């Protein structure tokens, strides 16, 4: 998901939350548009942060997978060497 769609999605959710809040209070939905913008900005920033966190997590997972793969290669190499050494002693 792109950064822009993440921010817009979270902002619209913030607007919906604000409308829900005003609906529960039975107040006019278009009484204070500045508060709508604040709610959208706060939730939009949350969307930006969530996107950045997701990108960083993907990098960390990729690094960890590469590290695990390298460790497995080293274990296979060590096992093959141990097996070759055991065969050499058997003869």
More confident residue, 87 or 76: 76
List the structure tokens of 14. 């913030």
pLDDT for 20: 94
pLDDT in tens, 17-52: 999 999 999 999 888 899 999 999 999 999 999 999
| Per-residue H/E/C for 33-69 | HHHHHHHHHHHHHHHHHHHHHHHHHHHHHHHHHHHHH
Q: What pTM value is reported for the model?
A: 0.71
Sorting pLDDT into bands at 50, 70 and 90, what band is 1? Answer: low
pLDDT for 60: 97
The span from the CA of 63 to the CA of 89, in Å, is 39
The span from the CA of 64 to the CA of 78, in Å, is 21
Where exactly are the structural domains of the chain? 3-90
């Amino acid at each position: 998901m792109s950064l822009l769609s993440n921010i817009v999605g979270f902002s619209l959710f913030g607007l919906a939350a604000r409308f829900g809040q005003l609906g529960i209070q039975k107040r006019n939905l278009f009484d204070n548009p500045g508060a709508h913008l604040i709610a959208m900005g706060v939730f939009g920033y949350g969307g930006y942060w969530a996107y950045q966190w997701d990108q960083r997590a993907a990098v960390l997972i990729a690094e960890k997978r590469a590290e695990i793969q390298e460790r497995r290669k080293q274990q296979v190499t060590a096992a093959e060497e141990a097996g070759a050494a055991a065969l050499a002693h058997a003869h």
